[in-house]
Structure 1
Amino acid sequence: MFCTLYGFASIVFTFFKIFSDDGIDVVVPSPVKHHSILDTEVTDKNYVESVQKLSLLSTDENNSDWEETVKRDGWTPLQNRIFNKVVKLLIADNMAKLATEKLENEAIQKKINVEGSAKKLRIILSSVSWDVKITQWLHLTLIEHLNQDYLLCYINMLQVLQSRVPTLVDRILNTPLTNSKLLALNNQILNFVVSKPWEPALKPNVSATTKAPPVTPFIIMVPSGTNNYNSLSSMNGSRRFQTWHNLLQTLGRVTTVSLQTSSTPQTLPLPMFVEAIINATVQKVQELKAGCPSRPIVLAGLQQGALIAAQVAYMEPVTALLCLGFPLFCVDGKRGEPDDFILDIKCPTMLIVGQSSSTCTVDGIEQIRHRMKAESSLIVVDGAVDSLRMLK
C-alpha cells in the first residue's frame, strides 16, 4: 500500500515539475471578426466629431463629486425621487459607454445604449406627465451641476427624445433663466439638441442594397362566400373584403379569383360553391407561377376565406399564407384534428385573430400552431371580434 502511494506521489511530482519548468502552453483563440455592414472609418469619424463639439460646452471638466454639490433643501419627495432616478440612469449610461470602448462595433453599441437610455428617461418624465415645472426644474438642476461626462450623456438622450417628442423637449429647453452663465450653457445645449444627431454610416454597397426594393409579391385574395363575391369579379364584394383588399395593396400586387360557372353563386349549393372557389384559386396560382416564376405568391383569406386559402396552400405550394380572422370552430367541427389538412401545410403561415372572437380561442390557436409542420406566427388583435373589427 505504501509503495502504491509513493509511486502515485512520484508521478504527480514529476508532472508538476515538467509544467513548472516549461510552463503551460495556453492556447488563446483569436477573436472572430464579423463582416460589419458599417463603414467603420466614417462612423468613428462622425462620432469623434460629435464628441469634440460637445466637449466645447462651458462646464466643469471633471468633477466626480458633482452630486454632492446639489443642495436638496426644500425639495419635495417627488423631486427627490425623480432626481435620484435620473442620476442612476446617467451613471448607468456612462458606465455602458465606457464598457463599449474598443469593441468591434463601438459606435453602434454606443448608439444602442443611448437609444435605450433615452427611452428610460422618457418613462421617468412620463411618470410626472411631463409637468412643465418638474421637467424645467430638473433640466436646470442638471445643467448647473453635471460634469462634462454626464452632461454629454444627458444631451445625447435629449437628442433622441427631440426626434420622438419634439414639443415636450422644446418645453424643457425653453426654461427661463436669469443666470447669464446658465443661459449661455442652455443656449449651447439647445443648438446641439435641435441639430441632427450622428448616425452610424453604412458601407456604400450596403446602402445601395438596402435601398433596392424587394420583389413585389402576388397576393391572391380568396373570397369567403356569396356575400363578398359574384361571378363577374370578387372586387365587387363586401366593404370588409374591400378594406383588406386595399390594405394589402400596399404590400404587393393584389389579384382576385374569377369563378367560371354558368350558375350564379347565390344559386349554387354551398359545397359546390366552395369547391368551385378552390379549383379557381388553384388555377390562378398555377397561372401566376407559369407567368412569373420568380415572384412570390401569398394566399390571403378573411374568416371562411382563410380556411379556403389554407386548403389551397395545402394542395398547391405557395410562398406564404395569411389567415385573417381564422375560425377555429366551423361547420365541420373544431380545426386541428389529427386528419386536418392545416397541420400538413408546408408554407410559412400567419394567423391573425381577434381577442374577442366567438369562433376561436387563443389557446386553441396556439395548440394548432404547436402541431403544425410549417413555420407559423400569431397576431392577436386586442378588442377585435371575428372579422377583426374593433369593439366600440
Structure 2
Amino acid sequence: ERKLSDYERVSSLGETTGEAIEAYIKEQLQPDKIDDSFCDFYLRCFETLALPRGELFEYQEKLLLTELTCATLMRAVLSERQLQEVMIQFWTDHFNIDQSKGDCRWLKVWDDREVIRKHALGKFPELLRASALSPAMLWYLDGRKNVKENQEDRPNENYARELLELHTLGVHGGYTQDDVEQVARCLTGWRVQGRKSGNFYASNIGKVGFRKDLHDDGEKKILDWVVPAGLGKGDLDRVLDIVSLHPSTAKHIATKLCIRFIADEPPQDAVSTVAASFQRSGGDICRILHTLFQTDQFQDNRGNKFKRPFNFLVSSLRATGATINQTNDSWHLDHHPLGKYFLRMGDAPFQYPTPDGYPQEISPWLCTLLWCWDFALKLSQNEIESIKIDKQ
C-alpha cells in the first residue's frame, strides 16, 4: 500500500495479505467511489480553488500560489484517494508549469483543476490534449506567441519541442529538428485572452481561441505522417493523434512510471510490459498502472526508492497522524513552517523553473537529508508551529 501512497495513516495500517493489497489497488484505481468528505471539509477554506479562470485574476497571485500549494499538501496528507494524489504529482511534473511566469500566476489554479486533476487517472490522449489547450501551458511555453511565418515573425518552437521531447516521444524518441519545426507550424494560431486584450468581462479572460489568420494552413510532414493542407485548427488534433499513442511515447511514459514506482534504473522487461499495456489500452492510465502493479519487479521491490522532500514531509505527517492548523494566520508560503521547509529543500510545488519538472531520481535530493532529519526530529518533539502530534 505504501508504494501507491506517500504513507498509510496509523489508523489504516493493518492486514497486508495479497488479497488485501489487490483490493487496495482496485479501490485506489476507482477514486470517484472513495468517500473523501473528510479531506473536502478541510479544503473549504481555500476559496480560490474552484473559481472560473477569469475570476482568478481578481485575486493577488501570492494568495493563489499559497492556497494551491497548501491545498496540495492537505490533499496529500488527508485524502483517501492516495494513488490519485500520487499521479497528480507525477503528471504535474510531467506537464510542468512554473507558476511564477506571467499569467501562469493566475491560470495554474485552473490548470491544476481542469487538466491535471481531471485527467490524472483517465486516458493519456485526453490529458495531452487538455494540456496542449491549457491557457497556462500556452502561456508557459509561449504557444500563444506561435504564428505563421511572415515578414515580421516566424513560428515559435518552444511548445513543439517540449511536446515531443518531454510530453510524448522522449529525447531519444526518433524525431528530428525538422519534426519540431513542422509541429510548430501545425500549432500556430492559438491565442489566450489576456487581461490587457480589451476584455471588460472576467469570463473572457484566460479563454483560449483560434485565429485562422495567424495559422499556417499548408501541408506538413511529421514522423513520416502527412498533415494535409486546409485542416485549420484540426492540425492540433492531427499532431496529437500522431504522437499521443506513438510507440516512443508508450516507452517514454512507461519508463517514467517505472522510475516512479520501481527504481531509478527500472528493469527493461518491466518497462516493456508497461509500454505494451499503454499501446494495448489506448493510453488508459488506470489499466497501465494496474499492469505495472502486477509486475514482479513492482511487487518484489523493496527499498529502492528515495523520497523527495515533499513526499518525505507528507509521509511523516501521515505516519504520525499529525494535526495541521491551516487556519493559522501564518498560512503564507514564505512564513508557514512547512512552506519554509519546502523552499529550503527546493521542492515547493509549482515552482520548478524549467519544463522538465522536478526530478524523480535520487541524486538531486541527497543534499536535503539533513533538512529531512531536522523536520522529523522537530515533528516528533512537537516543535513545529501549527503542527501537532499525539505522543500517547
Give me the TM-score of the superposition, normalised by structure 2. 0.20
Higher Cα Rg, which structure: 1
Give me the TM-score of the superposition, normalised by structure 1. 0.20
Greater relative contact order, per chain length (Cα 8 Å cut-off, separation 6+):
2
Structure with the higher strand share, 1 or 2? 1
